Structure 1
Amino acid sequence: MSKFSFVNVGCFALITFCATVPTLAADPYKINVILPLTGNGSFLGKGQQQTLQALQAEVNKSGGIKRPEGRVRLPGRPVQPANGGATGQWHCVGQKPSVMIGSSLVAMCCAIAPLLKSGPFDYCLSPGVHPAIGSFQYSSSVDTRDLMDVMMRYFKMRGWTRIAFMSSTDASGQDWQRGLDEFLARPENAVMTVVERQSFNPNDISVSAQIERIKASKPQIFFALSSGAPIATVFKAAFQAGLNVPICTTNANQTFAQMDQYKDFLPKELYIASSVFIPHDGLLKLDPDVEAEQKEFYAVHKAINVAPDNMSALAWDPAKIVLSALRRLGPNATGEEVRSYVANLSGFAGVNGLYDFRATSQRGLNNMNAVMSRWDGTVHNWIAVSKPTGLPLEN
């Protein structure tokens, strides 16, 4: 049986590799993985690359993808994805695979979606994408709408009801802005007030003017919703302006690399709505199977001397779910067969929670799988400060 390894395929301008896993035959089974390894999104892609490579080694140790004993191999049928126009350069789709993983970016996943009308099955690694129900695209971890729900519940119960909001003008920032507007429109959130709303271009080198207006509005909590290098611009401006209020940002920034790089100007209180993968001993009790999966997750990363963060968690579960489908269906499974398998999957234990795709289409998780976390520089980690759904722990 051949080794599970990554190979270079040049799938897209930002992409440099795809993944392979062994089948019953000598030739490897290839899983196309689309990750941003350069530019503003590289902090996402590089962390996910490490996780997938570590998982690849573990899969090899356990024998790769094996067809269950006595199971008839499913007939291979070619997947015929839509193609053409500006998307003609999408070489991975053009290869007509059965399954794909990626991208990590909202804009790119949204660009991929129209190509998937008849397959392949694609697991986007961004929670900010909201695939159509029944489609071939799935989205990793807890939906940003559910993360917003956790944020609003936590801060409302803390009595922090005066919100200042600032988002980037890219696809990710716009998604968060729509999410905020949806939740403010709910009757139960009438007590929450946006005292200032600002936006900025991700390429802006300064947002000092916007931060001064936010400071003047005297918020109790500041939502800084952007990711990657642009959030550093916001944090610096807030630090220089002396904006000393709790700041909440997106889980796209839940990376050790960013916390280390920004340590000199991080907010004193930095909150992130997170899936339940974060360390929580003595704080939360999760499903035993989820706890066992998290134990493996941390052990695999410890073996390669990597501290896993949200980027790792976003990649781990989708890869495990895809591998589960291929092990169950066999290496000749089509995109439709993989889609059908995942759509009916329930009780699957991942590091982000217990998945039930029948209850939550295209994702398998909801706000019961999310908590509010706070960055604690003294322990160099995110600490859970709420129960699932955002109820403060002290309550």
Structure 2
Amino acid sequence: MTISVERTKTPKQKPGTDQLVFGKVFSDHMFICDYSPDKGWHNARIVPYQNLSIDPSTMTLHYAQSIFEGLKAYKTKDGHVNLFRPRENIKRLNASCRRLCIPTVDEEFALTAIKKLVDVDRDWIPEGDGTSLYIRPFIFATEPHIGVRPSTTYSFVIITGPVGAYYKEGINPVKIYVEPNYVRAVRGGLGEIKASANYAASLKAQVEANEKGYTQVLWLDGVEKKYIEEVGTMNVFFIIGDEIVTPELSGSILPGITRKSCIELLRHWGYNMNERRISIQEVYEAHEKGLLKEVFGTGTAAVISPVGELCWNGNVITINNGKTGPISQRLYDTLTGIQYGKLPDEFGWIEKV
């Protein structure tokens, strides 16, 4: 399938590096591809960024048959553009497709579409420290129909936009609220895919945590409400004694690409890195014994986000004196070093545009 390109005649004004806010500004162009039962995926095109026109009965509005991904393009000092493990994002996109009865996309074609769109809007990639071009592929049901069943038609869209730090704290530690009441996901549900509905389910807890002065929510399992799952936009790691622990993928936790990369790095460096069940009680007991050294989140948006404070049922603990720990910092420096071309890519994680 070829991708046609229609370039904008009215380029937008680009924000300065100091004006970048995550998810607020979008580039000049977007990618769109349509699906129908008789043609499959077809009519792939890059067009000027524009509104989408949909029927009020479009099924995604009523039944949430919608999925997405998130990745970034990084500009190196020598002017090259890097993508970090984009094939992993596309594989996960297709896993989401299968779970929500959406036709999968050809993975090589999806990668080509991402690269071509990034190349068309190459001059939108900012060059300041910690900046990048955020890439948001998403697929949603487009059939105008009221009735609970999979749609017959879909749109695959990719938009991009220049971004700075996801959290205003940057690499500085954030405050996390352990959610005691609401449930994000259960095994057999949608927790292990990037379904839009997952994030709608998390909003109430997020708003309440923000009102209490916390940056994000730490979710516990939806059955016993004792085992740690993930933070709202990140996977989470704990350093207890000489062990580094992240919750195992149980069917309700998103298999993050940054999570996977951190596990591979930590094992490569020789750390005692384990994926297993870990309860919030174990974390607090480790803190009481002086064994809890670091807590950090991992994700595409923030890369590494150290946690300086946890609040569980009103019991507040401070981790590593509220400072970024050495392993968190090493992971951040290594991942960003590879992404921006400052460090050698020993693992074959970089795709050039």
TM-score > 0.5 by shorter chain: no
Which category describes the TM-score, using the shorter chain as reference length?
under 0.3
Q: So what's the TM-score if we normalise by structure 1?
A: 0.20
Q: So what's the TM-score if we normalise by structure 2?
A: 0.22
Which structure is higher in helix share?
1
